[in-house]
């Protein structure tokens, strides 16, 4: 008891800097006390150092840590933590001070133990700890301030601040690298590492040598996979390699900006910028681009899907092993089996064997055991069944692979993404009991129950599947390889106007013009190109525009054109997008007679556009209505994958968007009746526009200008005609003649039905884009739609297409 009092006395003899006086350093005999809102503040007020408790309102930990955060950001965002692995659980008698040996320490006087120390050997005890303006905590010699004995920049946690270094001191052997946090609230050393290996930056798993992302090698100006580094309007990068050290560093050109690079719990390296308007961190850049490219993100026995939120889900027959960690974004423990395998238990002798559940179109796990070629799927299954540690097999190109114990890095592929798709079928071993409880699931295309049940028909289906995969080809193994494609650098870049002017060769190569401005081709390097849109009539203030660009930039989907960057100088507003070499859909449907889009491509495009719109409507944080769906806004990449352009324009242009839209448009063929009637606009206007586009994909003609003559003098508007033909069961007559009958009539009927439902007069009769996707994927069906009455009435009264009628009406 006496001892306790003595110690208490000791604590209170520490001179505690008053927080109002904003002191930036501590000297021997001074200190900060845990649990009290004491802090050091850097001279310019940008950074603070003190004790904090991580967590949000809902998840608070009781643990305390000593850390540095942005003093002017109301959300405490620690950029450095001293005792990340050694939390303070009893803050009562804990303080941060300078010890007798001159080191910075966290002392617990209740137990008389040292929780943390800067641990350098110092010859004198006259030292000072100082928080610098760049967020670096420095221990310096009191009699010589340039004599630095220790600094926090040499021991980073998970954050790379401007002015800090990532790399290696060749003399002392000190390595400066980032290690991610364990989970959202626990700053302890987690799973991922960001470091400089000779000449390149990599991301890898802790204690492993396999990198899942690489910056590419330094080529003198930039890391070869990040050409965006050339745009130095916000940040200046430096790579140094001399006899003493090798490191990468960066500085901000405008010091008022609050930003940092962070190695997130998710294994991605993110660039975050504080936005005063929204009072939140905006992510402007992340590597690797696709979340599921992070090694073992979801843990064992999971499937990672970049197109869904959340990304991780347990495989069939498995459930989350540690729900608490899972909720805090630490998925490393993955999922566990619900029912033990029969294998090895006494039951198996009674004739009950394990069975297989198929996971189709997935990227296979690595570490396969290759059993050999020219072996049937059935034999492959049997090989797996014979060994109790075997958990899955795959039989592709008649090559049998089996996996033992944990399955890692299984990633869902999407059928329509690209032709370089490397999806395969993985057969997951489950106890027979699990298979019996299985609900009907359409994804189970093929299932091997047991060797005895495999019928000749089943085998045939399997062979067809394998053949299909062979044709797709390119079945690469998961190699955890590096991304060397410069397109994958990602992120939203702030370009200078003169750089864009130069890149577009003074706006000389016009790619097109739309309602919001003209689009020009820009050359980033000799091979890398972009499309630069010069916005007309943009009246957003600079701050607002920057905020909106960032929020639109994070919307990424395979069927949406990616926003690369922007320029905002004075009155000038420009946007830089990825460049689509195959231009827009209208060119292929109506203009270019040399290349006829085949049916399969048309169907893929229809499905791709539906997925892109469904993503905008249903998956983004706030609903995005495109408002201007038409073939001119559907771009095609090199493999004819459809990408929707011009989304999020309402945010970028500002409040008067709908006026700009309705007055700027020449044709109203894709405008839903609500635009004219003046009721509130919902996502269903996009469904209407999409229906009109589908009609054009089917017919290969433009709805609004070409009338459709049937028999003698009867002239009808094609969409109305299509609805009538659908009722009469004659879909074949509707399909583009240019296809010369090369068409899947079942698919054509499905497209027609969807199109007709989409253009119904009443928005409540139209399906959602999610419904459309499910229908086109064959997962659900639609009734035969009625003929849209408004359109029918219009075409009866006038031989003009409805666009003219509607625009007269609106005046």
What residue has token string 């072996």? 375
Using CB under 6 A as the criterion, what x/- string covers residues 131-160 for binding ligand NAG?
A: ----------x-xx-xx-------------
Contact between 354 and 340 under an 8 Å Cβ cutoff? The reply is no
Buried-state track 314-339, b at ≥16 Cβ within 10 A, e below 16: bbbbbebbbeebbebbbbbebbebee
Segment 294 to 323, residues that bind ligand NAG, using CB under 6 A: none
Among 89, 124, 279, 485, binds ligand NAG (CB under 6 A): 124
- The 3-state DSSP class for residue 46 equals coil
Segment 229 to 248, residues that bind ligand NAG, using CB under 6 A: 241, 246
Cα–Cα distance for residue pair 92/435, rounded to 1 Å: 55
> Cβ closer to ligand NAG: 348 or 707?
348
Among 96, 192, 213, 218, binds ligand NAG (CB under 6 A): 218
Among 1, 20, 74, 123, binds ligand NAG (CB under 6 A): 123
Calculate the CA 346 to chain-centre distance. 47
Q: What is the smallest separation between the CB atom of 715 and ligand NAG, expressed in angstroms?
A: 59
Residue 35 has phi, psi (to 5 degrees) of 90, -5
Segment 471 to 510, residues that bind ligand NAG, using CB under 6 A: none
Q: Which residues contact 12 (CB under 8 A, 6 or more apart)?
A: none
Q: What is the smallest separation between the CB atom of 333 and ligand NAG, expressed in angstroms?
A: 12
What residue has token string 């303080």? 95
Q: Does 254 bind ligand NAG (CB under 6 A)?
A: yes
Nearest to 576 by CA among 565, 561, 560: 565
Contact between 761 and 802 under an 8 Å Cβ cutoff? The reply is no
Q: Please report the DSSP string for 358-419 in residue order.
A: EEEEEEPPSS-EEEEES--HHHHHHHHHHSTTEEEEEEETTEEEEEES-----EE--TTS-T
The H helix count followed by the E strand count for the chain is: 18, 44
> Cβ closer to ligand NAG: 147 or 280?
147
Cα dihedral sign, 619-622-625-631 = negative
Q: Does 199 bind ligand NAG (CB under 6 A)?
A: yes
Kindly name the residue from 628, 686, 736, 771 that is annotated as catalytic: 628
Eight-class DSSP state of 292: G
Q: Does 389 bind ligand NAG (CB under 6 A)?
A: yes
Q: What is the smallest separation between the CB atom of 598 and ligand NAG, expressed in angstroms?
A: 46
Contact between 176 and 247 under an 8 Å Cβ cutoff? The reply is yes
Q: What is the smallest separation between the CB atom of 226 and ligand NAG, expressed in angstroms?
A: 15
Among 346, 437, 594, 677, binds ligand NAG (CB under 6 A): 346
**R_g of the chain computed on alpha carbons:** 31
Among the residue ranges 119-127, 519-527, 553-561, 602-610, the one whose residues contact ligand NAG (CB under 6 A) = 119-127
Q: Does 467 bind ligand NAG (CB under 6 A)?
A: no
Determine the size of the site formed for ligand NAG (CB under 6 A): 26
Segment 95 to 114, residues that bind ligand NAG, using CB under 6 A: 100
Q: Which residues contact 350 (CB under 8 A, 6 or more apart)?
A: none
Residue 151 has phi, psi (to 5 degrees) of -150, 145
Among 36, 92, 206, 461, binds ligand NAG (CB under 6 A): 206
Q: What is the smallest separation between the CB atom of 403 and ligand NAG, expressed in angstroms?
A: 10
Strands across the sheet containing 510-514: 493-494, 563-569, 572-578, 529-535, 517-523, 510-514
Strand partners, 275: 280
> Cβ closer to ligand NAG: 191 or 411?
191
> Cβ closer to ligand NAG: 100 or 455?
100
Nearest to 628 by CA among 597, 598, 591, 584: 584
Residue 141 has phi, psi (to 5 degrees) of -70, 125
369 annotated active-site: no
Segment 18 to 77, residues that bind ligand NAG, using CB under 6 A: 28
Among the residue ranges 117-125, 468-476, 563-571, 610-618, the one whose residues contact ligand NAG (CB under 6 A) = 117-125
Q: Does 209 bind ligand NAG (CB under 6 A)?
A: no
Among the residue ranges 58-66, 122-130, 514-522, 523-531, the one whose residues contact ligand NAG (CB under 6 A) = 122-130
> Cβ closer to ligand NAG: 165 or 750?
165
Q: What is the smallest separation between the CB atom of 726 and ligand NAG, expressed in angstroms?
A: 57
Q: Is 433 annotated as a binding residue?
A: no
Using CB under 6 A as the criterion, what x/- string covers residues 256-295 for binding ligand NAG?
A: x---------------------------------------
First to last CA, the chain: 89
Query: Which residues belong to the active site?
Result: 628
Q: Which residues are annotated as a binding site?
A: 533
Residues that bind ligand NAG (CB under 6 A): 28, 100, 122-125, 141, 143-144, 146-147, 191, 199, 206-207, 218, 241, 246, 254, 256, 345-346, 369, 387, 389, 404
Q: Which residues are annotated as a binding site for ATP?
A: 533
């Amino acid at each position: 008891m006496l001892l306790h009092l003595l110690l208490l006395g000791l604590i209170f003899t520490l001179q505690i800097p008053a927080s109002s006086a904003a002191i930036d350093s501590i000297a021997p005999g001074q200190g900060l006390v845990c649990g009290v809102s004491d802090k050091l503040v850097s001279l310019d007020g940008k950074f603070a150092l003190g004790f904090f408790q991580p967590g949000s309102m809902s998840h608070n930990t009781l643990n305390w840590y000593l850390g540095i955060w942005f003093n002017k950001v109301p959300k405490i965002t620690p950029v450095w933590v001293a005792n990340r692995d050694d939390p303070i659980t009893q803050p009562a008698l804990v303080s941060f001070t300078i010890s007798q040996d001159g080191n910075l320490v966290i002392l617990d006087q209740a137990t008389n133990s040292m929780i943390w120390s800067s641990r350098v050997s110092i010859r004198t005890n006259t030292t000072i700890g100082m928080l610098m303006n760049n967020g670096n905590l420095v221990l310096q010699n009191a009699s010589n301030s340039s004599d630095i004995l220790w600094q926090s920049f040499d021991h980073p946690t998970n954050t790379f601040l401007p002015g800090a270094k990532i790399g290696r001191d060749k003399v002392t052997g000190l390595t400066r690298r980032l290690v991610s946090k364990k989970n959202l609230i626990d700053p302890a050393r987690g799973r991922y590492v960001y470091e400089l290996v000779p000449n390149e930056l990599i991301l890898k798993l802790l204690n492993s040598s396999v990198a899942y992302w690489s910056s590419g090698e330094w080529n003198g100006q930039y890391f070869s996979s990040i050409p965006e580094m050339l745009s130095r309007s916000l940040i200046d990068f430096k790579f140094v390699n001399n006899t003493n050290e090798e490191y990468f560093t960066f500085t901000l050109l405008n010091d008022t900006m609050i930003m940092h690079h962070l190695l997130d719990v998710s294994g991605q390296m993110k660039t975050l910028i504080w936005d005063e308007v929204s009072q939140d961190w905006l992510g402007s850049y992340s590597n690797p681009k696709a979340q599921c490219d992070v090694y073992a993100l979801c843990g064992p026995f999971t499937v990672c899907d970049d197109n869904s939120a959340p990304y991780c889900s347990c495989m069939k027959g498995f459930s989350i092993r540690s729900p608490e960690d899972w909720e805090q974004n630490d998925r490393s423990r993955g999922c566990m089996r619900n029912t033990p395998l029969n294998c090895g238990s006494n039951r198996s002798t009674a004739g009950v064997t394990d069975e297989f559940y198929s996971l189709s179109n997935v990227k296979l796990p690595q570490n396969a055991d290759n059993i050999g070629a020219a072996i049937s799927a059935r034999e492959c299954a049997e090989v797996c069944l014979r060994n109790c540690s075997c958990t899955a097999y795959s039989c592709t190109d008649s090559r049998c692979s089996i996996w033992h114990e944990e399955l890692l890095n299984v990633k869902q592929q999407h059928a329509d993404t690209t032709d370089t798709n490397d999806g395969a079928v993985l057969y997951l071993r489950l106890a027979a009991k699990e298979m019996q409880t299985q609900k009907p699931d359409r994804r189970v295309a093929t299932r091997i129950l047991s060797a005895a049940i495999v019928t000749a028909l089943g085998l045939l289906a399997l062979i067809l599947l394998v053949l299909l995969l062979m044709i797709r080809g390119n079945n690469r193994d998961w190699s955890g390889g590096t991304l060397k494609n410069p397109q994958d650098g990602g992120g939203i870049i702030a370009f200078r106007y003169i750089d864009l002017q130069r890149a577009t060769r003074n706006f000389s190569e016009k790619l097109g013009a739309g309602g919001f401005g003209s689009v020009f081709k820009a050359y980033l390097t000799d091979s890398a190109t972009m499309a630069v849109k010069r916005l007309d009539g943009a009246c957003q203030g600079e701050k607002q525009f920057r905020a909106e660009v960032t929020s639109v930039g994070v919307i990424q989907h395979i069927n949406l054109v990616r926003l690369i960057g922007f320029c905002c100088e004075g009155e000038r507003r420009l946007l830089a997008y990825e460049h689509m070499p195959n231009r827009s859909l209208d060119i292929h449907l109506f203009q270019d007679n040399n290349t006829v889009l085949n049916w399969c491509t048309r169907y893929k495009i229809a499905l791709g556009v539906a997925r892109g719109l469904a993503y905008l409507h249903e998956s983004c944080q706030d609903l995005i209505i495109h408002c201007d769906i038409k073939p001119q806004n559907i771009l095609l990449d090199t493999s004819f994958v459809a990408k929707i352009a011009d989304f999020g324009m309402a945010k970028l242009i500002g409040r008067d968007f709908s006026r700009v839209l309705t007055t700027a448009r020449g044709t109203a063929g894709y405008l839903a009746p609500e635009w004219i009637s003046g009721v509130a606009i919902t996502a269903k206007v996009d469904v209407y526009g999409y229906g009109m586009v589908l009609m054009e994909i089917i017919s290969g003609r433009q709805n609004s200008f070409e009338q459709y003559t049937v028999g003698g003098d009867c002239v009808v508007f094609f969409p109305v005609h299509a609805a009538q033909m659908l009722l009469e069961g004659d879909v074949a007559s509707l399909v583009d003649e240019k296809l010369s009958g090369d068409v899947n009539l079942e698919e054509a009927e499905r497209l027609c039905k969807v199109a007709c439902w989409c253009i119904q007069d009443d928005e409540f009769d139209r399906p959602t884009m999610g419904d459309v996707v499910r229908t086109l994927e064959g997962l659900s069906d639609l009734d035969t739609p009625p003929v849209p009455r408004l359109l029918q009435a219009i075409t009866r009264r006038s031989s003009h297409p409805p666009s003219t009628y509607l625009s007269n009406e609106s005046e």
